[in-house]
A = this chain, B = another copy of it.
Amino acid sequence: MSLTLSEVSKHNTDKSCWVIIKNKVYDVTDFLAEHPGGAKIILKYAGRDATSAYEPIHPPDALDKNLAPEKHLGDLDSSSAAALSDARQHRKKTEDELRMEREQANKPPLSRILDLQEMENVAHKLISSKAWAYYSSASDDEITNIENARAFTRFFFNPRVMRRLSNTNPSTTILGFKSRIPVFASGAALAKLGHPRGEANITEGCGRTSIVQMVSSNASLSYAEIAAARVSPDQPLFFQLYKHKDQSLALKRIREVEALGYNAIFLTVDAIVAGNRERDVRAGWTEEDVEAIAEEQQGKGKKGELPRKKTDMEELESAIDVKGTAGALVANDDRDMTWEETIPWLRSVTKLPIVIKGVQCVEDAVLAVEAGVDGIMLSNHGGRQLEYAMPSLEVLYRIRKQRPDVFSKTEVYLDGGVRRGTDVVKALCLGATAVGLGRPFLYAQSAYGAAGVVKLIRFWNVRW
């Protein structure tokens, strides 16, 4: 079926809501209530082209997975598609887009980037302010995010001298998979916000440097696309599972990644309600929204009457509650996971190794060991969930002090605040098997694609 812009434009309410994505038309009326990001954000595009808002934050298979085939109404006719394309080309660029273009033209050569901070600085300049807000933001006053890194600054070495060094080798194994250095890419969502190739950049970069990537349930590429980006067929991939509250959908997701050859399940347990990431929420308020609110506040009187400005209370009650991206991503996650039920169920449905990602205190590390998992990952989600969660390294230190037996019973990883090679060594000294990094991989691929990811790993491996 071929549809015109004019036909689509009639379906612009919550009674009948059509949207255009990549020149295809979809009826999302029934889906409005299910949309994890809320109905209101879709209704902004009701009867219109939603491609630019949709594409960077949804994997390509999202429509197939979530929308019944009969809601796929068909293609736009060619003159409508041409009109859209024309409109896109003549659209006035925003200030943010113009800035990004200027910065892209002045990007420093990658060989001149010497550390993660410089990489982040380049990415900050290159990516959209919305991407920056999503990537960099953390909860409340971002204290745990800051403390994750500061915790490393409190640990100093007692360096030994007069030891043979010329034959040292930093490679290791993680869950039995070889890794060139004890570092892996931790799960981090929505890589396409920073670079069109998205998570595939990380896959390629990890493959070239022989380290492991953990892929987020909330990746912006499909799990299949990421699997296809592997440098060799046996390149390991771990899967960061956000468990759906609907057990059958959770199982379906596991079956999908098993079929694609993913090698382990990292069950995320620290993100079942959304963190309060104010910068991310604020980034969702476009200039247009602000103008709309201003107009609304001026009020529109009935014919012949003077318009009345809304009271503060009226404005408050009627305001669109724009959720941050974080809120949308976890809307359907299981809030009632337990040690007693969830781990045995997961064991029963998959043979893959199971790691609990998001352990934040000694007591839960012990419970995880008792639950028989293959690894525990000390993480507070990069400070993006519970503000004032203990920094990951401090949790590691407490396990070392109070329950060193944990290290002999399971592999222990951590992420949060790792930025220098010395950070990695500190974690290893305290008992960790390996450490993960999240944001740095997002920044590296945003700034330089797969080459950025390669460079990131070389920062630490350059001496060998």
Contact = CB atoms under 8 A, between A and B. Distances in A.
Given A140-B422, A281-B114, A361 B160 contact: yes
A162 B338 contact: yes
Nearest to A387: B422
A443 interface: no
B111 A367 contact: no
B313 A115 contact: no
B312 A451 contact: yes
A417 interface: no
Interface centre among A110, A390, A449 (most CB of B within 10 A): A110
Interface string A369-398: 000000000001000001111110010000
Contacts of A358: 161
A450 interface: yes
B312 A163 contact: no
A380 to B, nearest CB: 8
Q: How large is the interface on A (under 10, 10 to 19, 20 to 34, 35 or more residues)?
A: 35 or more
B161 A360 contact: yes
B109 A387 contact: no
Contact of A390 (B143, B158, B273): B158
Interface string A148-187: 0000010111111111111000000000000000000000
Nearest to A390: B156
Interface string A79-120: 000000000000000000000000000000111101100000
A338 B163 contact: yes
B339 A109 contact: no
A61 interface: no
Contacts of A55: none
Nearest to A274: B463
A388 B155 contact: yes
A116 B16 CA distance: 40
Nearest to A113: B316
A112 B360 CA distance: 32
Nearest to A294: B109
Contacts of A112: 285, 293
Nearest to A318: B111
Contacts of A449: 312-313
Number of copies: 4
Contacts of A387: 420, 422
Contacts of A219: none
A155 B294 CA distance: 41
A124 interface: no
A294 B107 CA distance: 11
B450 A364 contact: no
A391 B156 CA distance: 9
B162 A311 contact: no
Contacts of A153: 143
A163 B362 CA distance: 16
A405 interface: no
B336 A164 contact: yes
A359 B312 contact: no
Contact of A159 (B157, B294, B360, B422): B360
Nearest to A296: B109
Given A336-B166, A386-B157, A390-B158, A463 B315 contact: no
A358 B162 CA distance: 10
Contact of A166 (B141, B281, B316, B335): B335
15 contacts: A111-B316, A114-B278, A155-B388, A156-B391, A158-B361, A159-B360, A160-B363, A161-B358, A162-B356, A164-B335, A165-B336, A273-B463, A312-B451, A387-B422, A388-B422
3 tightest Cβ-Cβ pairs between the two chains A and B: A111-B319, A312-B451, A158-B361
Given A109-B293, A162-B356, A165-B273, 8 more contacts: A112-B293, A114-B282, A115-B278, A141-B420, A143-B153, A162-B338, A316-B454, A387-B422
